[in-house]
Each structure stands twice: as structure tokens, then as C-alpha cells.
Amino acid sequence: MTDHGAQNARNVLQLFDAHMLWGKPLPRTFADRHVRMNKHESFDDWWKSINEKLAETEALVEPPSSSKPKKQTALTYATQASGISRLITGKPSLSAG
């Protein structure tokens, strides 16, 4: 990691402030979207390097989850129409859409 000390300090302070307002560890997706870092560096790599330098920061962000995030189904016309049909008829949809 290239050392961008001033930006890293601003990022950590921003996460600390958000943590104080949130009152609990920040969701990783929230933290990832609110820090500025090198576009070629992942949030997890950046966060690991920060925690190696300053262990007290570890509690600011939730640990990585071991499960994969749930994939959301796209809201297409077919899925919306199918859902509306089920509401109207009370029957399950025949399509797998």
C-alpha cells in the first residue's frame, strides 16, 4: 500500500465520527462507500492495513461476513406481473421467472 497518511487519517476520522453517530460497528458496505482510497485498492485490503497500524480502529467496522450476499432478483415486467397475478388470484405463479 502506498502511504497516503493525510487521506488515511481523514478516512479513519470520518469512520470514527460515523461510528459515534451510528452507535455500533458500521456495515462494511457503508464504510467502503464513504472512504477515499486508491482506485486499485480494495476496501478490505485498505482496512486491513489500517488495522495493522492502529488496532483500535478494528471495532469501527463490522467484520467481514463469511456468507455470500444474497442475490436480488431483478424487478422485470415478468416478475412484477407474476407477483401481481399471485396477489389477485391467490395462486402460486407457474413461471420460474
Which percentage of the chain shows pLDDT scores above 70?
Answer: 67
Q: What 3-state DSSP class applies to 55?
A: helix
d(C-alpha 20, C-alpha 79), whole Å: 41
**pLDDT for position 92:** 64
SS3 track for 3-24: CCHHHHHHHHHHHHHHHHHHCC
On the question of pLDDT at 66 being above 70, the answer is: no
Instruction: Answer yes or no: is pLDDT of 18 > 50.
Output: yes
Domain boundary assignment for the chain: 5-60, 67-97
Asked whether the predicted pLDDT for residue 87 surpasses 60, the reply is yes
Q: The whole model's pTM is what?
A: 0.60
